[in-house]
Amino acid sequence: MDNVHRVATPEGCDIELRAAGPVVRARAWFLDFLVRFGVWLLLAIGATIFGQLGVGMLLLGAFLLEWFYPVVFEVYRNGQTPGKKACGLAVVLDDGRPLGWSAAGIRNALRGVDFLPFGYALGFIVSLLDVQGKRLGDLAAGTLVVYLDVPRPKAVGADNDAGSEAPPFPLTREEQVAVIEFCQRASQLTPERAAEIAAAAGPLTVDLDGEAAPRRLLRIGNFLLGEEARKVDA
């Protein structure tokens, strides 16, 4: 349904990480490319002053920009290169911990393989096939590119103007859980995706379309949680 990655900590807390897809990652890469290209141009201008020595300095600078630029930023800037920071992304380990030199080095060393045969084609295909959008470097290093500032879903029944509505027929326990989980995660979905999922609820939304279908599920979820609250109070 979405690309939320859940991590259970030893303290018994659940952490939700929203994995970034290939499109936003490509945008972050392009912004980093512009930064690197700008620095390379400055080096090229400066290299003209030093002749042959300048050529050597330019080649060394190009090598450092290509292979050490992402590693240094990801280790020292909380998993964020300038491009990732601009797109609200960060690289973390699969368990949510920050990157170290080993993981950052592995994921970036394999960019050469992800680039094959050209234009990061192999990495793009792998990221489309992986449920968390990982390229080969991420799979090898055990890393994940995630969104920061993930919006937290509102608790159903609290600060929710959808109202309450009883389901038109008795629901099984599994159906009740599915409705409640949809309501709790609705704020993370686009209106189009929410309507698509609500339409799959069958008889609950069969006569509705557009925003009306997810709003009915929200009202039913409020009703179900209200029923649970009344049971506890009793």
Q: Please write the tens of the pLDDT for every residue from 34-84.
A: 999 999 999 888 888 887 888 888 889 889 998 899 999 999 998 999 999
The more confidently predicted of residues 10 and 145 is: 145
Angle made by CA atoms 104, 109, 110, in degrees to the nearest 5: 110
Q: Torsions phi, psi of 196, nearest 5?
A: -65, -45
Residue 105: band (very low, low, confident or very high) from pLDDT cuts 50, 70, 90: very high
Instruction: For residues 65 and 36, give the distance between their C-alpha atoms in angstroms, rounded to a whole number.
Output: 6
pLDDT of 229 over the 50 cut: no
Instruction: For residues 91 and 131, give the distance between their C-alpha atoms in angstroms, rounded to a whole number.
Output: 16
pLDDT of 166 over the 60 cut: yes
| Residue 10: per-residue pLDDT | 59
Mean pLDDT of the chain: 82
Are 123 and 135 spatial neighbours (Cβ–Cβ below 8 Å)? yes
CA 220 to chain centre: 29
Where b means 16+ CB within 10 Å and e means fewer, 201-212 reads beebbeebeeee
Tokens for 80, please give them: 């964020």
Q: What is the pTM of this model?
A: 0.61
- For 212-220, what is the mean pLDDT? 87
Q: Could you tell me what percent of the chain has a pLDDT over 70? A: 87
- For 121-140, what is the mean pLDDT? 88
CB count in 10 Å sphere of residue 74: 26
| Residue 109: per-residue pLDDT | 92
